[in-house]
Amino acid sequence: MAGFSPSLPIRKDEAHGFALTTSMVEVVRQNFKNLVLTNPGERIMLPDFGVGIRRFLFEMNNESSRGAIRSAIAAQIEKYMPFISLKGINFSVDELNAPESLGISIVYNIQPLDLTDVLQLTIKS
């Protein structure tokens, strides 16, 4: 077997049928991205799973909103991905060109592998 799990979004691959994640770092990044993007109540049998980052999209761009995002991410990591530790979250907003989007860069450490990785997302309405 050449991979750990299907790569998301699912896409066709001639060699294996579907593209696969080929490293544990990719698997963790993919699962972490899923955790951040999933809305609470969206996942069957786990009603509190997910940060639901899109619900923050139209909040005020201030320290209070950024703190709520940090808290939501930290709580979800603690519950569902305790093997990673959060190192930092940076926010970026392009008020001129894309005021309806939010850029997030999340730096985290995968403790069993002792590797630091960055998850970068741009959330759009």
Domain range summary for the chain, segments of one domain joined by +: 12-124
Does position 1 have pLDDT exceeding 60, yes or no? no
Does position 115 have pLDDT exceeding 90, yes or no? yes
What b/e sequence results for 47-77 when a residue is b if at least 16 CB atoms lie within 10 Å of its CB, and e otherwise? eebbbbbeebeeeeeeeeebeebbebbeebb
Does domain 12-124 match CATH 3.10.450.40?
A: yes
Q: What is the pLDDT of residue 57?
A: 82
| Per-residue pLDDT tens over the stretch 3-28 | 777 777 778 877 768 887 778 898 89
| Per-residue pLDDT tens over the stretch 22-72 | 788 988 999 999 999 999 999 999 999 999 999 888 888 789 989 999 999
> Is the model more confident about 99 or about 108?
108
